[in-house]
A and B are shown apart, each in its own frame.
Chain A
Amino acid sequence: MVTYILRRLGAGVLLLAIVTLVTFMIFYVVPRMAGQTVQQLATMYVGKAPTAEAIEATIDRLNLDQPVALQFWEFVKGIFVGATYSFGGREVVCSAPCFGYSFQNYTEVFPELMARLPITFSLGLGAGVIWLIGGVAVGVISAIKKGSIFDRLAMGVALAGVSLPVFFTGLLMLAFLVHAWDIFETPRYTPLAEDPVAWMTGMILPWLTLAFLHAAQYARQTRAGMLETMGEDYIRTARAKGLPERKVILKHGLRPTLTPIVTIFGLDIGLVLGGAVLTEQVYSLNGIGRYAVQAIISQDLPVILGVTLLGAFFVVVCNLIVDLLYAWVDPRVRVAG
């Protein structure tokens, strides 16, 4: 088991290194290949109304005219030991882990990401729990009561969930549930530690919106998986042994069905933690996703780079967790993997 974990960890780290390299190339090398001059590249790092001198100083400061390998090395070095940028006589220290410095907002990227992380985490994990439990439960019931009114209705709603984008369902919920009928309060983030009740009531609508989108997929997947599993010979054997139906369904039917569910859950949750862009945008939640959107609009490359790496990090980590869970859900993996 330990070897398995170490192997997976090693692969994760390697993957992150590759993502870092590729992302760096996209932002620093591809624009140059597309004909952007060093000066144009520098204007993205130099504030809103740059003078020619300031641009030259920035090229020098960020080593933009140096070989790409050296630039990449400086960037990676910054992550581990920090970096220092100088403005005339004034120095700005970007302490480790330095994921870059936003020259438009005059802030280090990493602390800004960390400040927004609790919001995105609250949103993603809360919604994740709802969609996983809700989706799987609905899927199981639908499979058992195949063809019933519940099944048809649930699958219809699931189809709607998959088809309707967040900016549609989110705005509808805002317009009706918040503004017109006053059922929920206006969504806003309150730290969990500060006021757990306010945290919950403020996030419930974003959770439901995001969960609705994903739960649908889980319900359909679970239903299909359950139908297939419940037709297997060993289920018949289990029933023949006289096991209670509940045990047959939950232990023998659901468990193998969960393997692919856990896989997609790992991917989905990783993506959401990297920024639930639309949900955060619709509900004006100041998480990683909105930070990314603003950075993209204002072409704030260090921030975009930072968000991309963070997103990649979560996907890799969540996949790692999923791999480990596999081993638990399906013991065969430990041996074969």
Chain B
Amino acid sequence: MSKRALGLAALGVGSALFLSACGGGGGTGGGDAAGTYDQATTEVVNASDEKGGTLRYAISANIESTDPGNTYYGYVWNFSRYYARTLLTYSPEPGKTTEPVPDMATEMPKVSDDGKSYTLTLRDGLTYEDGSPIVAEDIKYGIARSNYGDDALPNGPRYFKELLADSDDYEGVNADPSDPLAGFGGIETPDDKTIVFHLKEPFADFPYVLVQPQTAPVPAEADKGQQYQENVVSSGPYKFEGGWTPGNGLTLVRNEEWNADSDPIRTALPDQITVQEGVDQNEIDQRLINGELDVDLGGTGLGPAKKGEVLSGEDEKARLDNPENGSLRYVAVNTVVEPLDDEACRQAIMYAADHDSMQRAWGGAAGGEIPNDVIPPQIAGHDPDLDLYPSKDDKGDLDKAEEKLKECGEEDGFSTNLGVRADRPTEVAAAEAVQQSLGRVGIDVEIKQFPSDTFTNTQAGSPDFVHENELGLNIYGWIPDWPTGYGFLSYIAHGDNIKKAGNSNISELDDKEINEMLDEAVRTEDADEQARLYSDIDRRIMETGAILPIVFEKSVLYRPDNLTNVHFSQGYSMYDYMTLGTTGS
């Protein structure tokens, strides 16, 4: 679960994405197509059913992988749907984009009374690019190859392995070449159209797991392990022209065998889709603005250089969207390092924090909203009225902070260290804001900088390292694998998820009440009851003072004029790629 978070975070992040369009040459000029500021966050901008043209994507890095079974980045989960259909996917309807809806399945899964079996039926007319039919066993095979065995595909999450029953002894698709699925009892395929998942325990969020690209069908005979990425067999409206190897870009053309009637999700407007890899971020931004490019595939929003420039121009600003991207940026306040093992000392930090300056460090209002709780607004359980540590103008309540310091026996303040990723200027700026605001009540903070590629594994993510180096505070970020309270909270606040390395529960929060409520919530089918539980957990986490929220992060996305049907998907934290079209050539 942490991977997608880390992955997105690694990009500098959150997520978002933007697009741009073809105006031909410099400047974009006015035009109705531009829409208004932030419009695509809540509705479809530039609606059109016009087909044709080439939709041009670019990305600053290399694509993680085109293999739907071997990826953990949100942008690949979104993009791979062009050529890899999944059992469920996020709704393309604005306002409902965090809801799973059927893709290859005829309807949402039927859940057994004990909550441990999920049954889905496949639609009629599902075919691969060679015209052969897609059968349920191919979906089972796709899940097997990405989750099981020593040679399971390394990049993706392993939810199926964690959740599915009767599969613990299964060693993957390569263990027995004559029968790759022998011993994989967690999934049954009684006939070509039916697929049944058997879980170890009830797990109400299971439909979100079925949204993952790992549920895309893979014909066993085409599987080449990790090298399958070079020639992915299409089940969607587009197929690869000439395959793909990392760094060389790719071209998708229409898959004539795709049956539009079998697909309620994809509008398949463009005739062709291209991706250029390894284009510098500034260059991507400039090309978007000039109309030489349509979409920044990575979905992380404009880079720092262009963001300020475009935000300050009224004309250009109308082409921007500024949605909250579902990620929380926060300071993990460690519950073990002294004196922060005392709840009152942690609460002193919560009171002393100057949220106004922390938000400014994060780029001001366009960078994110000041949160009063942990669960972001897009997720059920968020409580807009919660405000446990109120202060005037969000500048902190120093009197209350000093009271709390007295309560934990540190009336003169104390010293602690704050870990931060050195190569993230925004995080370093936020660290300095935290340092200054805590200094006002005698809490002396020393900032320790670490490289981001090791931070989450061996520094902040290693409790031993945190204790030895007295890292009482660490700046961190979290975006969930799926937008529910459990998806969001379990890895950063459940005591059972404290790990020796690669630990995401950096606060080492192990609160009996929180653990029990989380366990209960994920077994609860009733949505209202579940939301109530998450609200209670949200409040309890804030009470413990283990998480000091900095911002609910916002992305700054550029929406070019010739891009049609643009809207922001909260499920993927970027524009929904499946609906996009272009009026350019």
Contacts and interface: CB of A to CB of B under 8 A. Distances in A.
Contacts of A294: 61-62, 247, 278
B62 A179 contact: no
Nearest to B173: A89
B451 to A, nearest CB: 12
Contact of B225 (A48, A90, A174): A90
B283 interface: yes
A92 interface: yes
Contact of B276 (A51, A112, A284): A284
B226 interface: yes
Contacts of A51: 150
B86 to A, nearest CB: 21
Interface in B518-554: none
Interface string B159-198: 0000000000000101101000000000000000000000
A71 interface: no
Contacts of B225: 87, 90, 92, 106
Contacts of B61: 294
A186 to B, nearest CB: 6
B246 interface: yes
Nearest to A291: B247
Contacts of B25: 182
Interface in B448-496: none
A118 to B, nearest CB: 12
Contacts of A87: 151, 174, 225-226
Interface in B140-169: 149-151, 154-155
Interface in A169-225: 174-175, 179-182, 186, 188
B159 to A, nearest CB: 14
A284 B283 contact: yes
A50 B154 contact: yes
Given A87-B225, A115-B245, A49 B154 contact: yes
Interface residues of A, number: 34
With most chain A CB atoms within 10 A of its CB, the pick from B25, B247, B277 is: B247
B154 A88 contact: no
Given A47-B226, A54-B150, A88-B150, A112 B245 contact: yes
Contacts of B246: 105, 107
A88 B151 contact: yes
Given A51-B150, A106-B227, A290 B278 contact: yes
Contacts of B277: 286
A179 B26 contact: yes
B3 interface: yes
Interface stretch (B206-214, B261-269, B286-294): B286-294
B36 to A, nearest CB: 26
Given A47-B226, A87-B174, A284-B278, A54 B26 contact: no
Given A186-B292, A284-B280, A107 B174 contact: no
A233 interface: no
B248 interface: yes
Contacts of A49: 3, 154-155
Contacts of B283: 174, 284
B573 interface: no
B278 A286 contact: yes
B175 A179 contact: no
Given A87-B226, A106-B227, A47 B150 contact: no
A286 B246 CA distance: 11
Contacts of A290: 247, 278
B173 to A, nearest CB: 8
B220 interface: no
B229 interface: yes
B195 to A, nearest CB: 25
Interface residues of B, number: 35
B11 interface: no
A89 B174 contact: yes
B286 A179 contact: yes
Contacts of A50: 154
A160 B371 CA distance: 52
Interface string B243-255: 0011111000000
With most chain B CB atoms within 10 A of its CB, the pick from A53, A115, A286 is: A286
Given A89-B175, A281-B280, A179 B249 contact: no
A198 B280 CA distance: 22
Contact of B155 (A46, A47, A186, A188): A47
Contact of A90 (B62, B174, B229): B174
Given A47-B155, A174-B283, A88 B149 contact: yes
A294 B290 CA distance: 27
A297 to B, nearest CB: 9
A144 interface: no
Contacts of B224: 90
A106 B226 contact: yes
Interface string A43-60: 000111111011001000
A282 interface: yes
A286 B226 CA distance: 23
A105 B286 contact: no
Contacts of A175: 286
A53 B150 contact: yes
Nearest to A290: B278
B386 interface: no
Interface string A86-98: 0111101000000
Given A49-B3, A54-B151, A179-B286, A105 B245 contact: yes
Contact of B227 (A48, A54, A92, A174): A92
B189 to A, nearest CB: 22
Contact of A89 (B155, B177, B229): B177
A286 B247 contact: yes
B279 interface: yes
Interface in A8-47: 46-47
Contacts of B280: 281-282, 284
Interface string B201-234: 0000000000000000000000011110110000
Contacts of A291: 247
A252 B541 CA distance: 86
Given A89-B177, A179-B286, A107 B245 contact: yes
A51 B502 CA distance: 13
A179 to B, nearest CB: 5
A46 B280 CA distance: 27
A294 B278 CA distance: 9
Nearest to A105: B246
A48 B154 contact: yes
B584 to A, nearest CB: 15
Nearest to A115: B248
A115 B151 CA distance: 28
Contacts of A186: 287, 292
Nearest to B153: A47
Contacts of B227: 92, 106-107
Nearest to B64: A48
With most chain A CB atoms within 10 A of its CB, the pick from B174, B226, B229, B248 is: B226
Interface string A242-286: 000000000000000000000000000000000000000110101
18 contacts: A54-B151, A87-B226, A88-B151, A89-B175, A89-B177, A90-B174, A90-B225, A92-B227, A107-B230, A179-B26, A179-B286, A182-B25, A182-B26, A281-B280, A282-B280, A284-B278, A284-B279, A294-B61
Given A57-B150, A87-B151, A90-B225, 20 more contacts: A47-B154, A48-B155, A49-B154, A50-B154, A51-B150, A53-B150, A88-B150, A88-B175, A89-B151, A89-B177, A90-B224, A92-B225, A174-B283, A174-B286, A182-B26, A286-B247, A286-B248, A286-B249, A290-B247, A294-B61
Question: Which 4 pairs of residues, A with B, have the shortest CB-CB distance?
Answer: A89-B174, A88-B151, A47-B154, A106-B226
Interface of B: 3, 25-26, 61-62, 149-151, 154-155, 172, 174-175, 177, 224-227, 229-230, 245-249, 276-280, 283, 286-287, 290, 292
Interface of A: 46-51, 53-54, 57, 87-90, 92, 105-107, 112, 115, 174-175, 179-182, 186, 188, 281-282, 284, 286, 290-291, 294
